[in-house]
Structure 1
């Protein structure tokens, strides 16, 4: 896939170490210093989670930390923003899953 290797501000990135990480149980590789978002995009991953209630797919939106669409679970920590979190070696990343509609269930039980 596509990865920027010569950035006008960050410089040449081809010397950065390649590190393994997992996303939803599948092995991928990132360049040291990349965000989760950049590494996933470079590996062809476009969907990060599904909407908690509707189940519709969600991916990258603003990529600057404002919208929270790129929330993932990182090493067991919920709601980490992929666009702001740097990949670490052997990091375990999970996509967001559809949650049971708790409010709807509470109303139905009344």
Structure 2
């Protein structure tokens, strides 16, 4: 017999919700969560395009090993999975 676990979603305490931009579009995220999590939740599956064939690329390992989630912040390429969401962050595609 399967033991059903009660829904405990209401007990999850999230940090404050903040707004940042991705390619000029406002995106909601929670302060301190990974940027890649907020972007994926907002429906942004393609974060950059491959240099050789221009194919869409997105999150793959989500732990900083593959660099597939590279985005541009303050003129620098950074990994979205290793970057925290902060209010007013301006993010763009590489």
- Distance in 2 (alpha carbons) for counterparts of 1:13 and 1:74: 28
Q: Note the C-alpha offset of 1:35.
A: 0.9
Distance 1:42 1:55 in 2: 24
Q: Which residue of 2 aligns with 1:80?
A: 78
* Residue 17 of structure 2: aligned partner: 18
5+ residue gaps, structure 1: 1-5, 97-110
TM-score (norm 2): 0.83
Q: Which fold has the larger relative contact order, with Cα–Cα distance below 8 Å and residues 6 or more apart in sequence?
A: 2
Deviations 1:42-83 (A, max 9, x none): 111100000123111001111111001111001222x20000
Residue of structure 2 equivalent to 1:49: 48
Question: Residue 75 of structure 1 contacts residue 91 of structure 1 at CA under 8 Å; is this kept in 2?
Answer: no
Q: TM-score, structure 1 length as denominator?
A: 0.72
Structure 2, unmatched stretches of 5+, are 1-8
Q: Output the aligned Cα RMSD.
A: 1.4
